[in-house]
Structure 1
């Protein structure tokens, strides 16, 4: 062996033993806000050599505040953590060797840099909107929300959201799922609105808008709104109470509040709300119906009033076993009494023959009671591992009745006796569910999330019709039960049972400039629907695979580009499936369809953000969307508002921007432009509509002397087709003034909505052999006064859990 070969052999042996002696060490930890204990997201982590402080490696915390630095050689190191608005954190020296190859630094609290915060206050505010891995973050501390009295008012001013006068929220054309701190509080619609009204802006850190939720969320969640609350470790009592009065043609009032109490191991919460609403509408329509040359023409006017009284509550208790384990119990209740009174006049011409003038009075009543109970367990450590399990049960009862009286006139004189039909209704439903989820950090920096759910739902409904048999009866004739006969042809019983089994798997990672999240959700649905009178039985058993993918690229400190794509599933509600006829007047009826298929929604969108500018473009395709269309039966002269499956698609482009115009004048705008189409097959004929739509929303906020804030806002929708409804242009101008006093303990807000009464809905619909034009006027112009009082010092708020229980409960109603 020559000297060169010997030297090469010795070098190889030395290199081998040196490699064998190298330690592949790992250092991990979690950055937390020192006061709120919240994760500090996207903090910079630097690993330095303790010898000369030179940089060895760098990393960034993920959305849970966790960082992992791997593949470290033996040696002494220092770690520094830095993030905007926090003081720099130093940790070390840290020794990595054969005896200590892995170091877990645990929770590393970061202290707010007060000096930096003061500079931020002097120099400017956070951006109103930010973008992080497909999520739009609304910073509530922005000046744009100074006149907001509660969370619902903040949502009203957020991009892509529309909040109507009753508090119903729409996010990019869908009904969003609202979460609190990423958890589901399992509330009814009314409870949810009252809870949001009871949350003061100072209790909210930020609001996350998720237009394309990943696979870990319920498949029915088309969009998600996550309200993140401020927290601290203070013990004690905190709460708020509110009262409001609104005047339009009638008046509405509501009152309520929430209170929380936190002890070292226990936390209690109670949310309570009562309301007295007087919703109404004036509906005018003209229907030209039929397929023959001689059309049937109907002209009608209806005044509908729906006074509703409701009481709802949410009570909870949470017990902390130790730093990693906790259990909680929740009980929610909703009680309502909702009479509905409709007065209608109808003038009709059948085959060019004028019919008697029809006057009908329709009195309906519905009483609802819903109770939901939940028991949950949660485990969480400081390494990103989390396990949650919950069991829940709910019961819903909804009895009701209807009494429809119709009179017929010519020249103001009755031409025959009245017709009268009555019915009694009963709907009962319940569900039981088990929900389990697990999250962990694997392969050093990948976040794994997985889980499953088993759900059973049972529904039973029946309706019994009576019809007046006396032909000579007038509205003043005393009637007894003997004057009515059972109407077996319209009476019915409907049962619907459903079993859903689902699982999900999701992986995500944050690189330096690239964020990545991919997941898949599988759902097996088994249903059985039976209509006793119609003698129809609908059994279904199907699987759906629902993938999702989100990519975010950080262009620079001010700009991000996000692409997100997902496939969603939305099942019909029990009400949409129920085949019972609900008569609005003798010529108009609404009913469900037990043969509906679930909706499959495919969405893909691209979002660009630069400081306070946001540009969004995308495409969505809805297979088996559910629409309610007027279908005409020429033999019975009956118009049926029927639930049907349609196919819709939409290409859209949205722009959001906010900026200060003057030091005390801030503005925000949101513009949405879309081209869409809808297609349905009725009576073996295809019906399709397409067109361009656009809407603009602008808000101006002014800071006035003596602590007053003024908002002047407006919106406008251009004439556009909304599905098969071709609506005319409409909009509104609103104004509000707000003032807080007594150290922000009290807040008063006065609003005037639709000042010029321009938000009147006018539309035309043409499908199959129905051609209909109508005008709908509601309580859009109104003035309201709301007063809120906050008390206590603790910032604790009732926590929820990543749950799907309220989604199940919603489908029962």
Structure 2
């Protein structure tokens, strides 16, 4: 195996071939001309209409223009390809031309006259409200338009994901797509910063007012990092690309058992040379979580030997500040450089009270342990991104990103455990913990795209990332009224470094009714971990190096103007979260611990799918996925203690069918229906015994959107997840129903929204876990039945301007931070 220096040299040698020696044949630019007039007898020209074309293969914006006083427009410098053209102006219904083919050698294209139909006042308001469907099925992804749902107001990202097709969120906030965990979460194509418990905190404190769309990509292409065996969820925040100074402000208040508030400010200024932006969010969430755990201890023949009952309630207050600022400088018509900085501070104190009851086999109380815990966690993230985009000509584009990210969290814990037997206190202890985490991520990526005369599109790129983490867990313990002393048995300091080097090459072409795409990604992974010793334990270290190839294929066929079918295949990887590799105990409570596993291997998944689509309204997808080295949370018992870790169980196989249907009942009622049917089978080895589980699961969802008129809109939506089995876990079915209403005011610049979520308080999770000689059941509930009221005011000009698609080079690293 080549060493790191040799590999980097090879990496840059290949990159030199990709970027510095580009092919000399490229597509000829075309000019598309047209004229826009009013529909009807007068047929007068329409000035100021916005005209844009996007690539059909990936919906990327290519060119925009504005019609002149004679209604004429020109789109100059359009490379050969298959496009979708849209024309829009306030007061008229939008116009869409779904099939616009620009052939090689065709330097000029004159379109037929475009006629726009005028709106009445009421119809105009309906168009504004229903301009986007809640769910859109595109060629390579499913898009959820967050603002299209009234009941999303006051929701956080996790709650919105729970309502999204094919997505499920378990009691710990883990996200799965089509029944598979291992989802890569990105924000604006950029890192989500965290994974595990900290990702859950981030998404649960990220409000709907910040979002524009969720992109669900089940089979990403070679351009994306190979991490995430289930696919990618890209959270797109709101961006304003209008010329001049403009922005919006949102104020929101929610009331459940506890109150909460979510507020947002967005400012943007754009002229011919610069685009600057600032987004700030401030929120407070008060809430609770109740968890009731029951354990039954039994002998090998099933005879009960003891019982454990632990009800607990945690109350918390989370305060969040989130800031994003940046600037794009348009050096020329072909070159743009950009800068963006992000910062997030989240503080969450919490109080937890739980009483552990130990009973004998007959259910008679034996002893009680009362635990009182006070914790205060503080999360600070900061990131800087420098980016460059240069268009050599209409057929050649180079983009590059350099990123530095700093993640720092502190977690101060204080536990007291008081033991009682026969009403008398028998023991008392206190545990004090200090758990800081520091993570630094450095990353560089570059992407080059070229379109040839035969309409073949080539994409190539490289990425180099370096991650350094420092996890410290320092515990002090005091028995009775003795002084605090270091507890080296559960104290720990873990250092981790990882380097991933990647290259990819992707080709795509549209030939008549066919859309063809094939790509290959290579990733080289190197990491090492070092657990520092203490007076009771010696140092331990481990290293690993491995190389992988990740192919990706997509074939689409357009049967006619309404029907299309497609096939896709992709290979993916899931690497363990950084802290999961730490071979040490994490103290949860007196009878529950988490332990890392340095021997944990990455899991690999081969994904296959076949899809059928009709008129952009109906989609059916059949899928099969096989995961090797499948890892999941595994429970083990030791005396009265439960210890959980992650382990490679064996093989996971899933067979699924996903259905999405959009219906229009007149002009005022739109229905979105979705269903996911899944068969899941796990075979392997755990806790010294063979494991085989299988289950049929289903998820159904519906959203009803009502455009009432005169600026009023309403929604009724809900979903239900059926029983699920995964390894040692079995989860019962649960669901949720939401209702909401909105009103446009002040010439459509203001919007009031009122909703009620989980109106039947059915978001309660029941489950069981079977391990060793322990049968555990749990019930978890939270402050999910909430009424929200919000007001948004938009100000400034509304002239469309082209926006850059800015990426970032740290997608897969930060999702593994927990």
Distance change >3 Å, CA 796–CA 570, structure 1 → 2: farther
Q: What's 1:55 paired with?
A: none
**Equivalent residue for 2:178?**
172
Distance 1:241 1:579, change over 3 A: farther
Task: Give the Cα separation in 2 of the matches to 1:283 and 1:653.
Answer: 33
Is the aligned partner of 1:41 residue 2:55?
A: yes
Q: Is the 8 A contact 1:36 1:230 kept in 2?
A: no
Specify the alignment match of 1:526 in structure 2: 526
263-272 or 222-231: bigger deviation: 222-231
**Residues 166 and 147 from structure 1, CA distance in 2 versus in 1: closer, same or farther, beyond 3 angstroms?**
farther
| Alignment-derived partner of residue 567 in structure 1 | 571
Is 2:63 the counterpart of 1:66? no
Shift of 1:172: 3.4
Q: How far off is 1:525 after superposition?
A: 0.6
In structure 2, relative to structure 1, the CA distance for the partners of 1:137 and 1:364 (3 Å cut) is closer
User: CA separation in 1, counterparts of 2:132 and 2:115?
Assistant: 16
- Counterpart CA distance in 2 for 1:642 and 1:270 is 41
- Written as runs of structure 1 = structure 2, the 5 A alignment for 1:224-623 is 224-225=232-233, 234-289=242-297, 291-292=299-300, 293=303, 295-349=305-359, 355-411=366-422, 413-442=423-452, 444-470=454-480, 473=481, 483-533=483-533, 535-611=539-615, 612-623=617-628
Give me the whole-angstrom Cα distance separating, in 2, the residues matched to 1:230 and 1:357. Answer: 51
Cα distance in 2 for partners of 1:31, 1:723 equals 57
> Alpha carbons of 1:689 and 1:518: their partners in 2 closer, same or farther (altered >3 Å)?
same
Shift of 1:537: 1.6
CA distance in 2, matches of 1:464, 1:583: 11
Change (3 A) 1:546 1:625: same
Aligned partner (choices 648, 655, 662) of residue 645 of structure 1: 648
Aligned equivalents of 2:726 and 2:479: distance in 1? 43
Of 803, 806, 810, which aligns to 1:805? 810
Asked whether the 8 Å contact 2:596–2:646 carries over to 1, the reply is: yes
Give the C-alpha shift of residue 30 in structure 1: 6.8
Shift of 1:729: 2.4
Aligned residues of 2:214 and 2:234 also touching (Cα < 8 A): yes
* CA distance, structure 2, for counterparts of residue 165 and residue 764 of structure 1: 12
Q: 1:172 to 1:112 in 2, by over 3 A?
A: farther
- Matches of 1:415 and 1:520, distance apart in 2: 65
Secondary structure at the aligned position of 1:702 is classed as strand
Q: Distance in 2 between matches of 1:86 and 1:665?
A: 21
Distance 1:652 1:633 in 2: 38
Is 1:215 equivalent to 2:229 in the alignment? no
1:631 to 632, 636, 653: 636
Equivalent position SS for 1:812 = coil
Query: Deviations 1:733-766 (Å, cap 9, x if unpaired)?
Result: 2211111211221111111112122221111121
Asked if 2 retains the 8 angstrom alpha-carbon contact of 1:238 and 1:796, the reply is no
The answer to whether the 8 A contact 2:604-2:628 is kept is yes
Residue 382 of structure 1: CA displacement? 4.4
Deviation at 1:732, TM superposition (A): 2.2
TM-score w.r.t. the length of structure 1 is 0.80
- SS of the equivalent of 1:483 reads coil
Counting only pairs closer than 5 Å after superposition, residues 131-142 of structure 1 correspond to structure 2 as: 132-136=138-142
1:85–1:112 CA contact under 8 A, matched in 2: no
**Separation in structure 1 between the aligned mates of residue 239 and residue 486 of structure 2, nearest angstrom:** 60
1:147–1:739 contact (8 Å) kept in structure 2: no
1:681: Cα distance to partner?
A: 2.3
Higher relative contact order (CA 8 A, sep 6+): 2
SS across alignment from 1:808: helix
Answer yes or no: is 1:714 the counterpart of 2:718. Answer: yes
Q: Work out the CA distance in 2 between the residues paired with 1:150 and 1:249.
A: 15
1:113 aligns with 2:129: no
Change (3 A) 1:452 1:302: same
Q: Which sits farther off after the overlay, 217-226 or 108-117?
A: 108-117
- CA distance 1:26–1:579, change in 2 (3 Å): closer
- Aligned-residue offset at 1:811: 2.8
Instruction: State the distance in 2 between where 1:396 and 1:483 align.
Output: 34
Distance 1:272 1:185, change over 3 A: farther
State the partner residue of 2:675.
671
Gaps of 5+ in 1: 1-23, 44-63, 70-79, 95-101, 474-481
Q: 1:167 to 1:274 in 2, by over 3 A?
A: farther
Is the Cα contact below 8 Å between 2:684 and 2:691 reproduced in 1? yes
Partners of 1:82 and 1:367 in 2: CA distance: 46
Paired residues of 2:624 and 2:653 also in contact (CA < 8 A)? yes
Report how many residues are paired: 730
How do 1:764-775 residues align onto structure 2 when only pairs under 5 Å count?
Answer: 764-775=768-779
* CA separation of 1:125 and 1:407: change in aligned 2, threshold 3 A: closer
Contact 2:555 2:567 in 1 (8 A): yes
Give the C-alpha shift of residue 191 in structure 1.
7.7
Alpha-carbon deviations, 1:56-113, whole Å to 9, x = none? xxxxxxxx963179xxxxxxxxxx9999936999999x9xxxxxxx97949x898993
- CA distance in 1: counterparts of 2:342 and 2:146, whole angstroms: 28
C-alpha displacement of 1:427: 1.5
Alpha-carbon offset, residue 388 of structure 1? 1.2
Aligned-residue offset at 1:168: 9.3
C-alpha displacement of 1:223: 2.9
Aligned CA-pair RMSD = 4.0
Contact 1:596 1:645 in 2 (8 A): yes
Query: 1:141-220 residue pairs with structure 2 within 5 A?
Result: 159-161=165-167, 171-173=177-179, 175=183, 177-178=185-186, 180=188, 183-184=189-190, 197-198=208-209, 209-220=216-227
| Contact in 1 for aligned 2:443/2:465 (Cα 8 Å) | yes
Match of 1:704 in 2: 708
Unmatched 5+ residue regions in structure 2?
Answer: 1-24, 35-47, 58-76, 88-93
Structure 1 window deviating more from structure 2 (682-691 vs 774-783): it is 682-691
CA contact (8 A) 1:302 1:343 kept: yes
Contact kept? 1:31, 1:66, Cα under 8 Å: no
Helix, strand or coil at the partner of 1:417: strand
CA distance in 1, matches of 2:699, 2:660: 12
Superposed displacement of residue 771, structure 1: 1.4
Is the contact between residue 151 and residue 757 of structure 2 (CA under 8 Å) also seen in structure 1? no
Residues 154 and 790 of structure 2 are in contact (CA less than 8 Å); yes or no, is this contact kept in structure 1? no
CA drift at 1:197: 3.2
Give the distance between the partners of 1:706 and 1:126, measured in 2 at CA: 18
TM-score (ref. length: structure 2): 0.80
Equivalent pair of 1:709/1:738 in contact (CA under 8 Å)? yes
- Which stretch shifts more, 369-378 or 723-732? 723-732
Kept after mapping to 2: 8 A contact 1:66/1:384? yes
CA contact (8 A) 2:395 2:452 kept: no
- CA drift of 1:469 comes to 3.5
Q: Name which of structure 1's ranges 296-305 and 624-633 shifts more when overlaid on structure 2.
A: 624-633
In the TM superposition, what is the alpha-carbon distance from 1:544 to its structure 2 partner?
1.3
CA–CA separation in structure 1 for the residues paired with 2:813 and 2:585: 25
* Contact kept in structure 2, 1:518 and 1:550, CA below 8 Å: yes
Counterpart-to-counterpart distance in 2, 1:191 and 1:342: 21
Deviation at 1:595, TM superposition (A): 2.4
